[in-house]
Amino acid sequence: MIKVRDISKSFGDKMVLDGIDAEFEKGKTNLIIGSSGTGKSVLLKCIVGLINPDKGNVFYDLRNFTDADKEVKSEIRREIGMLFQGGALFDSKNVEENVMFPLEVLTKTPLDEMRDRANHCLKRVGLENVNKKAVSEISGGMKKRVGIARAIVNNPNYLFCDEPNSGLDPQTSILIDELIAEITHELDITTVVVTHDMNSVIGIGEKVIFLYKGHKLWEGNNAEITNSGVAELDDFVFANKVMSQMRDR
């Protein structure tokens, strides 16, 4: 479980996050949703330590991450897997090397075992016979899958996904969402997904946190989201014409 307590962050005069409290549960896909510029990615970066919050703390299973020294932070980070918006795969390495990378640098696993593990993870995300391909040779959806394979290769306890569907077609988006949810349940890990895709919310939102102008306005799950009674959330959920028509019926 990950707990976020009173997180605030400003850039200059602009308050991006204001006193966010949240809990992300183990074995569930926890979604952070909200419109663009509302602080979702900043909150995610505060949680993984890529941005230092001005105030507040993040706890990984009761371990205070924000105030920890660099060594402890490094230890906790080794339990984290993260899928970045653009994949963030290393251009200088091929697909297999990208997936093996965390094992290569962070463990003393023999090469054969690393290769087996990488192949297992690639197979798990539905990719086979692409091991030797360069990153530039694979599609956007494949890059996301490779990113997921790399994120899970080290058996993480925490999985973070920053806009996993951005730039993907609707079918591939659903496949990626399903993959994230399956992996979360299979490995029984805490998964946090930042998204503004309503298909993801409806499909995999076992726990959903809605951010609005740097504040947490609502918390619930995908079954409750259409009856939240929060006007700002309704505007977000029913912004799509199809969703709006469904509500009116």
Binding site for another protein (CB under 8 A): 48-50, 70-71, 73-78, 80, 82, 84-86, 88-91, 102, 104-106, 160
Q: C-beta of 107: minimal distance to another protein in Å?
A: 10
Burial class (CB in 10 A: 0-12, 13-18, 19+), 107: middle
Nearer to another protein, 82 or 95 (CB): 82
Q: C-beta of 63: minimal distance to another protein in Å?
A: 14
Nearer to another protein, 88 or 223 (CB): 88
Q: C-beta of 145: minimal distance to another protein in Å?
A: 16
Nearer to another protein, 73 or 115 (CB): 73
d(CA 35, CA 207): 17
Q: C-beta of 61: minimal distance to another protein in Å?
A: 16
In sign, the C-alpha dihedral spanning 247, 179, 154, 134 is negative
Which residues on adjacent β-strands are paired with residue 7? 20
Nearer to another protein, 23 or 104 (CB): 104
Start-end of H helices in the chain: 40-48, 70-77, 95-106, 111-124, 140-152, 170-187, 198-204, 231-237, 241-248
Nearer to another protein, 74 or 245 (CB): 74
Q: C-beta of 120: minimal distance to another protein in Å?
A: 19
